[in-house]
């Protein structure tokens, strides 16, 4: 089959790889000059099944209200006149019930565990090197109440096969000695030894090179403008070429993996995806004292940020702003990241030379991604992986290849409406 994959982030690239492995004639269309230059560029680097709790949970509404208007709040809803933002917000509230949170946690965790396993298999098979560290993820709490509440989540995760365990502050320091300066502030932590970390950009670009070597046609600097249908099936994709011409790509199947931009492309076809961009930030620093920089990837629950070592760099990332598609830097958020990483790991890096970045997580209100066939039978979506796109990415590629081939995917999926 001729399969056109739209979008060259981690999701589109992994989809193209697995589709090609099934023997399809695959074309990947990406508006940037290479893969992974948008949301899959400088994220927190955590391959973290243990962080599968959805943002929509019973505690979220009150916290979001308290954070309203605070420029450096971990999660900031910036109300606008955009109807889609309000609809998304209402659906998010609907998912904050205990029952919905439990069900969404289960769905996300299954996909995350499958993603982590598939990523490890790909790494072994292709010999990928991306500053990966297999040292686990340590999630620490400064609030004893949050630490207690997290124990219940950890128990559910263990039931579902994710070995996330509560550890004392002392044990946390033994797992990651670079956290010693924070000893007095840590109430407790969760540790998942099987989670890992690594650079999504390096991984995705290497995977793309392997995909190209195996015959995937990469169309970079090509903007997708439309998917056309005939007789109820998607049969052509309209693109604008680097020199400005409109061209059509013939297709037997189309996979839409445009991250936050997937919704807009599909609206004319009557496919309404509950998707909104969740803007996040990162700051990356050169390490000057390796002994003071962590090797275990660390999540700081109080500030909702993660710190990951990527070779000789240290990156802090996190926060979310629901404020549309702007990727402008907010100085208050940048300053918060630099201040916090300096507090956590003093003198580990040259903190005077930050490299800032923002990216738009493709967020669904439930946190559960949108993967599967749409009302147009040969048009598939693979998006909405939100906070866990790096963790789920490789597995998401494999799942979409299964669906296109008509095979039962390795993970049970919710219906995509
Ligand atoms: C601050 C931050 C920290 C994060 N940390 C983690 C983490 O630690 N662990 C984790 O698992 N996940 C993390 N994530 C989430 C993860 O990075 C994303 O879920 C993932 O990168 C999304 O990948 P994607 O392929 O869906 O989207 P993208 O990477 O955005 O790919 C979509 C592609 O489509 C292209 N495109 C869009 N429109 C068009 C068009 N019209 N024509 C052609 N091309 C187009 C874009 O250029 C882009 O390359 C983080 C995200 C952020 C922002």
pLDDT digit string (tens) for 45-69? 999 999 999 999 998 888 888 887 7
Distance, in Å, from the CA atom of 158 to the CA atom of 84, rounded to the nearest integer, reads 36
Nearest to 299 by CA among 307, 289, 291, 290: 307
Using one digit for the tens of pLDDT, what is the confidence trace for 256-279?
Answer: 999 999 999 999 999 999 999 999
Closest residue (by CA) to atom 22 of ligand 1? Answer: 389
Atom of ligand 1 nearest to the CA of 392: 11
**Length, in residues, of the chain:** 417
Neighbours of 109 (CB within 10 A): 23
Helices (H), 54-95: 60-67, 83-94
Position 294 pLDDT exceeds 80: yes
Model confidence at 417: pLDDT above 60: no
Q: Which residues line ligand 1 (CB under 6 A)?
A: 7-12, 29-32, 37-40, 43-46, 48, 223-224, 257-259, 261, 280-282, 306, 317-318, 359, 361-362, 383, 385-391
The atom number, within ligand 1, closest to the CA of 308 reads: 8
Q: Which residue lies with its CA nearest to atom 27 of ligand 1?
A: 259
For the cut 70, the answer to whether the pLDDT of residue 415 exceeds it is no
DSSP letter for 375, please.
Answer: S
- In a mutational test of the pocket of ligand 1, which residue from 298, 330, 387 has the highest number of ligand atoms less than 8 Å from its CB? 387
For the chain, the average pLDDT equals: 95
Picking from 360, 361, 282, 358, the residue whose alpha carbon sits closest to that of residue 314 is 282
Structure tokens at 102: 């439990």
Q: Which atom of ligand 1 is nearest to the CA of 197?
A: 8
Q: What does DSSP assign to residue 314?
A: E
Greatest CA span in the chain, whole angstroms? 66
The pLDDT score that the predictor gives to residue 78 is 83
Q: Whose CA is nearest to atom 1 of ligand 1?
A: 280
The pLDDT assigned to 20 comes to 98
Q: What is the model's pLDDT at position 214?
A: 98
Pocket test for ligand 1, best of 197, 258, 303 (most atoms within 8 A of CB): 258
- In the chain, % of residues over pLDDT 90: 88
Q: Where does the pLDDT of residue 240 fall: very low under 50, low under 70, confident under 90, or very high at 90 and above? A: very high
Residue 379 has pLDDT above 50, yes or no: yes
Which of 13, 16, 44, 50 is the pocket-test mutation for ligand 1 (most atoms within 8 Å of CB)?
44
24-46 pLDDT tens trace: 999 999 999 999 999 999 999 99
């Amino acid at each position: 089959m001729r399969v056109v994959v739209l979008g060259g982030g981690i999701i589109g690239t992994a989809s193209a790889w697995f589709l090609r492995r099934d023997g399809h004639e695959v074309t990947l269309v990406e508006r940037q000059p290479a893969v992974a230059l948008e949301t899959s560029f400088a994220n927190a680097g955590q391959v973290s099944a243990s962080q599968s709790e959805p943002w929509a949970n019973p505690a979220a509404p009150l916290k979001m209200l308290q954070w309203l208007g605070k420029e450096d709040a971990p999660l900031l809803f910036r109300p606008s006149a955009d109807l889609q933002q309000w609809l998304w917000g209402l659906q998010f509230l609907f998912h904050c019930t205990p029952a919905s949170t439990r069900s969404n946690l289960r769905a996300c965790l299954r996909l995350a565990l499958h993603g982590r396993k598939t990523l490890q298999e790909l790494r072994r098979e292709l010999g990928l090197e991306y500053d990966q560290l297999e040292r686990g993820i340590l999630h620490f709490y400064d609030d004893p109440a949050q630490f207690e509440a997290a124990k219940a989540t950890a128990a559910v995760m263990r039931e579902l096969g994710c070995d996330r365990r509560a550890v004392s502050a002392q044990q946390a320091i033994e797992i990651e000695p670079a956290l010693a300066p924070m000893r007095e502030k840590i109430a407790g932590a969760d540790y998942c030894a099987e989670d890992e970390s690594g650079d999504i950009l390096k991984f995705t670009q290497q995977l793309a090179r392997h995909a190209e070597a195996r015959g995937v046609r990469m169309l970079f600097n090509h903007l997708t403008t439309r998917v056309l249908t005939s007789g109820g099936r998607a049969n052509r994709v309209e693109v604008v070429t680097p020199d400005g011409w409109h061209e059509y790509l013939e297709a037997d199947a189309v996979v839409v993996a445009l991250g936050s931009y997937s919704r807009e492309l599909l609206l004319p076809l009557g496919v309404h995806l509950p998707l909104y961009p969740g803007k996040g930030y990162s700051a990356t620093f050169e390490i000057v004292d390796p002994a003071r920089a962590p090797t275990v990837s660390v999540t700081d629950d109080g500030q909702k940020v993660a710190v990951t070592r990527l070779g000789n760099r240290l990156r802090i990332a996190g926060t979310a702003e629901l404020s549309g598609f702007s990727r402008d830097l907010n100085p208050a958020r940048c300053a918060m990241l630099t201040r916090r990483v300096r507090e956590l790991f003093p003198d580990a890096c040259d903190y005077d030379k930050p490299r800032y970045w923002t990216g738009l997580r493709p967020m669904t209100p439930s946190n559960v991604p949108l993967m599967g066939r749409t009302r147009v039978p040969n048009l598939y979506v693979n998006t909405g992986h939100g906070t866990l796109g790096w963790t789920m990415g490789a597995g998401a590629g494999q799942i979409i290849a299964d669906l296109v081939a008509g095979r039962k995917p390795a993970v049970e999926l919710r219906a995509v409406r």
